[in-house]
Amino acid sequence: MKIRSAAVLGAGVMGAQIAAHFANAGLTVLMLDVTREAGAEGLKRARALKPDPFFTPDAVTLIKTGSFDEDLAAIRDADWILEAVVERLDIKQALLARVDQHRRTDAIVSSNTSGIPLASIAEGRSDAFRRRWLGTHFFNPPRYLRLLELIPTPETDPRVLETVAEFGDVRLGKGIVVAKDTPNFIGNRIALFGVMQVFRALASGDFTIEEIDAITGPAIGRPKSATFRTLDIAGVDVLAHVARNLAEQLQDPTERTAFVLPEFVERMVARSMTGAKAGRGFYKKEGEQILTLDPKTLEYRERRSAKFPSLDAARSIESTPARIATLVNGKDKVGAFLRDTLVPTLEYAARIAPDIAYSTDDIDNAMRWGFGWDLGPFETLRALGRGGSETVTVTVPESVTVTVPGTVSVPVSVLRGARVVRMNAGASLMDLGDGVLGVEFHSKMNAIGGDTIQMLHAGVKEASANFAALVVGNDAANFSVGANVMLLLLEAQEGNWDEVDMMVRAFQGATLALRYADVPVVVAPAGMTLGGGCEIALHGARVQAAAETYMGLVEVGVGLIPAGGGTKEMLARAVEHLPAGADLLPHVQRVFETIGFAKVSTSGPDAMRIGYLRDGDAITMNRDRLLADAKDHALGLARSGYKPDHPRQAIRVGGEGVYAALKLGVHLASRAGRISDHDALIGRKLAWILSGGNTKAAGTMTEQQLLDLEREAFLSLCGERKTLERIGHMLKTGKALRN
């Protein structure tokens, strides 16, 4: 079964974003709503959303809108028809009755319902319809949250489930979990139970909202938004709707009572205090001040800091399982809270596991992929010793191990079980099998320092001697945030210019070693790939990038220019295929703006648009498959008779004419107040490199000559007070200073 096109029925928040992500995957999409105007408006709203549901602006051209009354017959061209209308059984059933009249007999039909039983929605449909029918529950926002719950019914053809699971995994980049057709499936069922435990603790008056958010965030391996900021983002009214729906569907009267909303939440919904979209929920912003709700009075007050010595102490525990166990077993207020809320949630997950899922791994994956938990419920139970401790007693039934035929297994990283060849504090060389060596970064935020550079050189040498190919990548959230600027700042403040010069030369040497290695080098970036991280990617023979890769040469943010070969490489790429006599200026201008404005891609495909990626590079939608795809890419190059490039001897430069044009642009921007004096200084140095430095007329320069210009400009900027201020500000705040 091939999926090349889709129809999305419903242009609301979820429908439009699902359509956008289908377009990201390259599908042609028909999106319908009650009127053509409503369909067009839904697409317009999606284009304005932040974060952007589209990889690139061009992806929107794959979506055509229309209405149920005028355009429903066009769904006959869709391989996958997805219903995403309002959560009312009667409306869904009526629409699907019409769909049954127009769909192709081999089309897959699914619902994005968040909890209505799939069997109920398909009542009255033909046997043929029900064989190609299942639930496909995306989480909001669909581009960014990895979880996709698939809910087959007993009548669903296993091949349909297998097709959607594989497509969701490989083409949509989703973590696939197969759920049973029970109320609210897996993720929402467990998460909502946990929220209800927190509400109970809040209603007791023993804890403030700030205290609960302090406990239920990163301290226990949860997102920074913790509980109440998350609820404000999701919508308090949405929470209330899901809770009421669940309470109505559950058969056990005792279980139903666990999902009855507390009175203060009902009052919040009645007063439209529904969260971020209403401007007020559990938190409210007034000017620059964030106020906090008092759940008893529903009035807002000034925020209060949450001070727990145990949380402060736990920050030093890097292991999430060990940190959770320490906090849960604590004899303070934090421990009491977690034993009263987290532990019952874990017990609930264990108790209902056989009813909602086919394996406990699916439950853990659902909570990690859908809600950003570092550890799923069963992983957390293992961290607590399963049977508990002197403080905590946890009752856990036997794990469920049944599997569903046709489901897609979770991708396993090629780093798992790989043999360590060599390692230091910054990186490791790993034998990835099949003749491929890997370089894995593991410094803090994968910042690039001397240890990393040493291991890159060692990796090229080892791969050239004993392997067929080399992959540079890791399983961390971010490939690399760039060079370790703390080391640079310390050397510059001491005036150790020879040391700084050696650092730059070493990094340039490492990137050139990757580019001209005897074996193919494939770089596999994901997440933040900034500054030096971007320069490493630019110098691979090929790049296999994750779809969610945020790549950019951002050195101007710390008062510098890219000097690890990034400036040289962007220029060389811009001019290498231009015909003789072509005007270089517009192409060099684009590079100047890319570096000067520190443009960062919003996705892997956007990196291709900007120019950080090029023909021959590839995109992996599922982050878990990235290193395996990079390995396959590298082996493909090796098997096709890979021949390394040679250092460029004639990179075209525009000379004085290009320099004058770029410098004029800097001057005009400075005069207009759009950039600071220091920005202007950086701009002039960047223009100097991109035009060829001392070259008067248009001509050519060697790769090494351009690298020398990079290094000279970098060193001179390190001697500027305002550059050191920018570096210090970035280290202190994580934000760029425009001084």
Quick count: other Cβ atoms within 10 Å of Cβ 108?
Answer: 26
513 lies in some domain: yes
Kindly state whether residues 359 and 468 are assigned to the same domain.
no
- Pair 338, 168: CB distance under 8 Å: no
Q: From residue 377, give the alpha-carbon distance in Å to each of 32, 226, 373.
A: 39, 16, 9
* CATH number (domain holding residue 482): 3.90.226.10
Instruction: Convert 54-114 into a string of H (helix), E (strand) and C (coil).
Output: CCCHHHHHHEEEEEHHHHHHHHHHCCEEEECCCCCHHHHHHHHHHHHHHCCCCCEEEECCC
Of 152, 178, 204, the position where a domain reaches its end is 178
- Residue 405 banded pLDDT, cuts 50, 70, 90: very low
Residue 236 resides in a domain:
yes
Give domain status of residue 560, yes or no.
no
**Residue 404 domain-assigned (yes or no):** no
The reported pLDDT for the residue numbered 392 is 60
Pair 546, 603: CB distance under 8 Å: no
> Cα 718 to chain center, whole Å?
33
Cα distances (angstroms) measured from residue 392 to each of 43, 482, 552: 50, 43, 48
158 and 244 part of one domain: no
Question: How much is the pLDDT for 529?
Answer: 98
pLDDT band at 411 (very low <50, low <70, confident <90, very high): confident
**pLDDT band for position 185 (50/70/90)?**
very high
Nearest residue to 569 via CA among 608, 520, 611: 611
- At 115, the pLDDT band (50, 70, 90 cuts) reads confident
Question: Is the pLDDT at 428 greater than 90, yes or no?
Answer: yes
CA atoms of 437 and 423, how far apart (whole Å): 13
Task: Write down the pLDDT at residue 387.
Answer: 45
Q: Assign residue 512 a region: left if phi > 0, alpha if psi is -120 to 50, beta otherwise?
A: alpha
User: 178, 207, 241: which is the final residue of a domain?
Assistant: 178
Contacts of 43 (CB under 8 A, 6+ apart): 11, 16, 19, 31, 60, 63, 65
What CATH number corresponds to the domain at position 261? 1.10.1040.50
- Which 8-state DSSP code applies to residue 441? E
Rounded to the nearest integer, the mean pLDDT of the chain is: 94
CB 652 within 8 Å of CB 698:
yes
**Is the same domain home to 193 and 315?**
yes
Residue 394 is assigned to a structural domain of this protein: no
Shared domain for 222 and 363, answered yes or no, is yes
Q: Flag whether pLDDT at 408 surpasses 80.
A: no
d(CA 680, CA 298): 51
Per-residue model confidence as pLDDT tens digits over 246-303: 988 999 999 999 999 999 999 999 999 999 999 999 999 999 899 999 999 999 999 9
Whether 347 is in a domain gets the answer yes
CB-side neighbour CA atoms (13 Å) of 379: 19
Same domain, 62 and 38: yes
- Do residue 615 and residue 738 come from a single domain? no
Greater confidence, 605 or 390?
Answer: 605
Same domain for 505 and 622, yes or no, is yes
Q: What is the largest CA-CA distance in the chain?
A: 85
Count of structural domains, the chain: 4
- Cβ contact 187:149 at 8 Å: yes
Whole-number Å distance between alpha carbons of 63 and 46: 12
Indicate the residue type of 162: E
Same domain as 234, residue 193: yes
Work out the pLDDT band at 193, boundaries 50, 70, 90.
very high
Q: For position 399, what pLDDT does the model report?
A: 46
Q: Is the pLDDT of residue 402 over 50?
A: no
* 527 and 446, same domain (yes or no): yes
Question: Tell me, what CATH number does 153's domain have?
Answer: 3.40.50.720
| Whether residue 332 is found in the same domain as residue 353 | yes
**Structural tokens at position 562:** 């890219």
Q: Is residue 610 part of a domain?
A: yes
**pLDDT at site 3:** 97
pLDDT tens per residue across span 638-675: 999 999 999 999 999 999 999 999 999 999 999 999 99
Whether residue 605 has a cis bond before it, omega within 30° of 0: no
Buried b (16+ CB within 10 A) or exposed e, 76-88: eebbbbbbbbebe
Residue 417 domain boundaries: 412-554+600-645
Share of the chain above pLDDT 70, in %: 97
pLDDT given for residue 403 in this prediction: 45
Coil/strand/helix, residue 500: helix
Global confidence as pTM? 0.93
* Whether residue 205 sits in one domain with residue 281: yes
Domain for residue 703, yes or no? yes
pLDDT at residue 487 is higher than 70: yes
Residue 396: its pLDDT value, please?
56
pLDDT, tens digit (0-9, with 9 covering 90-100), for 448-460: 999 999 999 999 9
Task: For 703-719, write each residue's pLDDT tens digit.
Answer: 999 999 999 999 999 99
Query: What is the three-class DSSP state of 531?
Result: coil
Q: Are residues 166 and 296 in the same domain?
A: no
Query: Among 441, 214, 229, which Cα is nearest to 337's?
Result: 214
